[in-house]
Structure 1
Amino acid sequence: MRIYHSEMSKARRARTELDGGQLVPPWECPERVDMILAGLRKAGFTEMVEPAEHGLAPVLAVHDADYVDFLATCWDDWQALGREGEAIAWIWPTRTMPGRRIPSCVDGRLGHYALGADTSICGGTFEAAQASKDVALSALDHVLATGEPAFGLCRPPGHHAAVDQFGGYCFFNNAAVAAQRALDAGLSRVAILDVDFHHGNGTQQIFEQRSDVLFVSIHGDPMTCFPYFMGHADEVGEGEGAGYTVNYPLPEGTGAEVWFHVLEAAKERIRETGCELLIVSLGVDTFEDDPISAFKLSSDDFTEMGRRLGALGLPTLLLMEGGYAVEEIGVNVANVLSGMTSGVVERG
């Protein structure tokens, strides 16, 4: 399987995350990339490819132009004020203060465009986000050209990024950008299957009124798990998109038996809708020892995940989402790809 990766994806090195009332080093860090690459190489994946540059047009096909401009200028605007810390939102539009106008100052714009205070903006953020979507799009181009699966080692991740908001370490929604590009290339319907522990609120928001993208997510119950305010089972899409959003919220502590039962149900929904491409938002934070998640999959379970994904028989693009800096992250990613590769061989 071809692996797409860019060293520029490590340009973002944030120092601060608000967690439990303290500013701490973020769980999402550049070292994740090196740990995943090491695991892939140890497992025998040696075809590593630098992505081509794709510019901002594919991003603007799914994201608001003013939002993209904000991401491009935020760090410079923040530094121009003489601030020593990183750019973190501290006030938001709310139910009682709806924010019908976007402020001109950087603090107000941060509040408008941020989902929460968990994710800071620092030097290199915009550059890393651009590299991450280039990884996704180059991997997609390979899948569309060959029908073979490909893995995009995206960093920053993307599935929490909405049309005009960032958060959860995400700035550009890589899976959404790739799905739109595939549709623009002539496909009729694309499936995005999100297997990250945390619900892909951004992907849902981007596509919930459309029927050309089926969004299916298996995730921690938002009543107790981030991002809290989306991902319930009764969220099924709106208008033309009714029936094309499928959420499977599961309780904390969910293990492999239940998780794989739900995966089979998710696969059946994908089969029923006649999707021509599968994009997997691949979070491996369902791992039993992940520091900020609460499912109980083992490293061997990720091999089985790959086999079952491969058994769908669709051209498949896998894009990195969550899974944090624990020793097994590289093993778990490699196991998914190994399982999928064996599934492709068995079908052939």
Structure 2
Amino acid sequence: MFRIRRINDDLRSIDREAVAQVRSILAGQFPEAPPADNEKISQRLRDALTNRLRYVLLVAEEHRRKVLGFALVAYAPDVKFCYLDYLATSRRLTGGGVGGALYQQVRREATRLEVVGLFMECLPDDPALCPDPEVLKQNRSRLKFYERFGARPIANTAYETPVSPEDDCAPYLVYDPLDRPPDLSLATARKVVRAILERKYGQLCPPSYVKMVVNSFTDDPVRLRPPRYTPAQVAPLQLKSRGLGAIPLVVNREHAIHHVRERGYVEAPARIGAILKELERTSLFEPAPARRFSRDHILAVHDPRFFNYLKKMCGQLKAGESVYPYVFPIRNAARPPKEMPIRAGYYCIDTFTPLNRNAYHAARRAVDCALTAADTLLSGYRAAYALVRPPGHHAERKVFGGFCYFNSAAVAAHYLSAHGKVAVLDIDYHHGNGTQDIFYLRGDVFTASIHGHPSFAYPYFSGFAEETGEGPGLGANYNLPLPEQVDGPAHARALAKAISRIKRFAPDYLVVALGLDPAKGDPTGSWSLKAADFQANGLTLGRLGLPTLVVQEGGYYIRSLGVNARNFFSGLAKGAGLI
């Protein structure tokens, strides 16, 4: 098994290692390639517009980060075309579909960018142009591969004319219309050809040669060579998904096992269904199955004694039985009660968050979903959504509460922090006390929370503006407590302040603890945000341009829950350039 991820630069160690493997594959598979092409991969990725071309690298990796193949793609935003510079797999591969999967992903990326087409060069399969039988065989194989996808050489041009008369085997210009009719206009084709020759080969191609090749394009629209290796009636492969332009959706499918039926318990399974129903109306999402992760990820942010108590206590309870904390032994923390049910208060901050047989399992699975979604960001996706319950942002390092048991967003943030700086933005109506507690002494994870003032909003004891972090974390915690009555514009102003601080921190990743309880009518809040406000907030966050993980937290007004979620993500996708 392998996965494909996008690399935009090589600033992280994980990406530098991948680029080094790409260089090795390139040198082995394209020994005739100019050495500068190999040496400048990093420069091309770092320079946003090298020669007015924006480069992206796609790598196919095994689970141990072994690169099996790669595709290097250039995008010309002014002419709106993509150019496939290289696509290659490791020499040891004789099958497995790595090349086909990579090219499909290239096509998805090009489709997302709404380009006029995908172009590439392929050495000719005509013996008159390439007399070497072995090279000719390789060329035919490569052209046959691309023809399967509907990509064929542009006919009736002088593109394959060598720059120097003594050269041979000059390449065809191959055009992939990306499952659209191949009706590329003459004017656009000439712009594309001029851009390729001047921006990629400016030092090799004199102006007279460029002019000759460009003027040799006379068909309007251009003509493609008839299919040579696949039947003409075979339709090109259709794109099944939006590729890296999609938002992976990881749902805690086991959330319903945690169902507290007591009157007034608003954290109900219906919340997930209400959101899913509305998300299905969009084409933004790509379902991603949750993977199982080691408990070590949880223990990185939660105290082992707390973790073990939660697991053991829940395992002792019978189906349908709940334990609510009612004694809080804070006076002698060194000697917790021996009775397990009574000890619940030793690890809890309120009297309304129960322990039951499935609380541990549901919370553990929610963490798995958040980590799975976080992992998709490392694979190149720009946004991902962990739709989970129970929520997690009230769970501190040593305690649970507020319907929360394990802090899924904090676990995911810590996981991402191994790959760069992380900012966690909590936009739930209630303060993210758990996330603040976990990262309060750390400077590599910035935490910000927009919430109701603790003078009237749960959890009442944290979320004050003067709480800014301690030690290495001093200045890395930012609270924006707001009054009881807040509408969309007022919330947007607070969000702008939080984003200003996030930009100053300059994170590599953003984790959004998405609370939908700021909505008008939510039974746990007093604010009045509407669907348009959630959409505006999503748009603002998307425009940050950061790989963004969204983890579901609160939101309990079922009638508007799904609509608000849908609007938030439509805004996020638009701001991030996914639609």
TM-score between both structures, scaled by the size of structure 2: 0.56
Letter in 2 for 1:4: V
Letter in 2 for 1:86: S
Q: 2:515 — aligned with what?
A: 283
How many aligned residue pairs are there? 333
Map 1:40-51; keep pairs closer than 5 Å.
Answer: 40-51=279-290
* Residues 1:293 and 2:532 aligned together: no
Q: 2:329 — aligned with what?
A: 93
Per-residue deviation, 1:85: 4.3
Letter in 1 for 2:502: I
Q: Secondary structure at the match of 2:494?
A: helix
Seen in structure 2, the aligned counterparts of structure 1 residues 344 and 72 have a Cα distance that, compared at 3 Å, is same
Q: Counterparts of 1:37 and 1:147 in 2: how far apart (Å)? A: 20
Per-residue deviation, 1:141: 0.3
Q: Counterparts of 2:456 and 2:264 in 1: how far apart (Å)? A: 23
Which of 332, 337, 348 does residue 114 from structure 1 map onto?
348
Letter in 1 for 2:357: G
Letter in 2 for 1:197: Y
| 1:174-194, Cα deviation, whole Å (9 max, x unpaired) | 11100111123x31x210000
Higher relative contact order (CA 8 A, sep 6+): 1
Q: Counterparts of 1:175 and 1:84 in 2: how far apart (Å)? A: 28
The gaps in structure 2 that reach 5 residues or longer are 1-246
Which of 167, 170, 184 does residue 404 from structure 2 map onto?
170
CA contact (8 A) 2:544 2:576 kept: no
TM-score between both structures, scaled by the size of structure 1: 0.92
Q: 1:77 — aligned with what?
A: 316
Per-residue deviation, 1:268: 0.7
Letter in 2 for 1:117: T
Which of 237, 250, 258 does residue 4 from structure 1 map onto?
250
Per-residue deviation, 1:278: 0.3
CA contact (8 A) 1:77 1:106 kept: no
* Residues 1:37 and 2:273 aligned together: no
Per-residue deviation, 1:325: 4.1
Q: Counterparts of 1:131 and 1:270 in 2: how far apart (Å)? A: 29
Q: Secondary structure at the match of 1:328?
A: helix
Q: Secondary structure at the match of 2:341?
A: helix
Letter in 1 for 2:333: G
* Residues 1:67 and 2:289 aligned together: no
Letter in 1 for 2:326: W
Larger radius of gyration: 2
Q: Secondary structure at the match of 1:318?
A: strand
The sequence identity of aligned pairs, in percent, is 36
Seen in structure 2, the aligned counterparts of structure 1 residues 342 and 84 have a Cα distance that, compared at 3 Å, is closer
Q: Counterparts of 1:287 and 1:140 in 2: how far apart (Å)? A: 26
Q: Secondary structure at the match of 1:150?
A: strand
Q: Secondary structure at the match of 1:272?
A: helix
Per-residue deviation, 1:45: 4.1
Per-residue deviation, 1:155: 0.9
Q: 2:376 — aligned with what?
A: 142
RMSD (Å), alpha carbons: 1.6
Seen in structure 2, the aligned counterparts of structure 1 residues 85 and 51 have a Cα distance that, compared at 3 Å, is closer
Per-residue deviation, 1:46: 4.8
Per-residue deviation, 1:84: 7.4
Q: Counterparts of 1:193 and 1:259 in 2: how far apart (Å)? A: 14
CA contact (8 A) 1:193 1:217 kept: yes
Q: Secondary structure at the match of 2:447?
A: strand
Per-residue deviation, 1:4: 0.7
Q: 2:189 — aligned with what?
A: none
Q: Counterparts of 1:3 and 1:220 in 2: how far apart (Å)? A: 29
Map 1:213-292; keep pairs closer than 5 Å.
Answer: 213-292=445-524
Q: Secondary structure at the match of 1:308?
A: helix
Map 1:329-344; keep pairs closer than 5 Å.
Answer: 329-344=561-576
CA contact (8 A) 1:75 1:87 kept: no
| 1:13-60, Cα deviation, whole Å (9 max, x unpaired) | 1123xxxxxxx3410011111111111112334522221111211001
Which of 146, 151, 154 does residue 388 from structure 2 map onto?
154
Letter in 2 for 1:75: C
Letter in 2 for 1:302: F
Q: Counterparts of 1:40 and 1:4 in 2: how far apart (Å)? A: 12
CA contact (8 A) 2:313 2:341 kept: no
CA contact (8 A) 2:321 2:357 kept: no
| 1:171-213, Cα deviation, whole Å (9 max, x unpaired) | 11011100111123x31x2100000000000000011111011
| 1:47-75, Cα deviation, whole Å (9 max, x unpaired) | 22221111211001111111111111113
